[in-house]
Amino acid sequence: TYAIDSYRHAEQAGPDPLAAWACTSLSCWAYVAGHAERAVEAAERGLGHAPQDSPIAARLNARAAQGYALQGNKAMSDERMSTARRICERLPGQSPSRFSTESKALTAGKVAQAAASCHVRLADYAAAERQAREGLAVAAWSPGSSDLTRLNLAVALTHLGTPDEAIQHGRQALAEPRFLSSLIPRSRELYTALKARYPDEPFTREFREQYRQLASHASTN
């Protein structure tokens, strides 16, 4: 609701990149809810407001890539992600942003985080691991989204046969949970992967309990 209100106010105020920033939130929550077409539509709409070669243009292309990945459209997801990376390469060290300025490193990190989620959706786990590790470089600036990236990394590592490190990242992501509506489905995905590959291991049962406590906390608050 706040994202819709933000977009409408910015749209009425005239040409303003704030409308583009509002669209990142619209696209994000559509993606979390599993509405791929809405995620793509919101990102594409935001690109109509975004200045060229700006942090928000890079982020919106990455959001569109996520929506396409959720549809299973690898070609379009790769195309949008490539555009996001090219924009990042052209950015100066600091760019005007929603809150004063944004560093090139932060923008590139956010794009890497989105790329990791795309690769997980498309079952390209080796690429997901690489991008997730790159995305974790911005954990100090963006702890909430880094929690999600840790879960994407954990899913990738589970499928790649490295469960010990996967569990470490999974536990760390849920230690001080933020963005519960996003963390819960990613945690469920990690538990499903662990259960499929390591059904009898103690760490699978332990993570199930941690995940269930998180889901229970969310349902009662």
Question: pTM of whole model > 0.95?
Answer: no
Q: What is the pLDDT of residues 90-126, one digit of tens each?
A: 999 999 887 788 999 999 999 999 999 999 999 999 9
pLDDT tens sequence across 52-84: 899 999 999 999 999 999 999 999 999 999 999
Q: Give the Cα-Cα-Cα angle 202, 139, 93 (nearest 5 degrees).
A: 155
Q: Give residue 15's pLDDT band: very low, low, confident or very high (50, 70, 90).
A: low
Distance of CA 192 to the CA centre of its chain: 19
At 181 the pLDDT is 78
The confidence band for 216, taking pLDDT boundaries of 50, 70 and 90, is confident
Which has the closest alpha carbon to 3: 100, 35, 11, 57?
11
How much is the mean pLDDT over the chain? 91
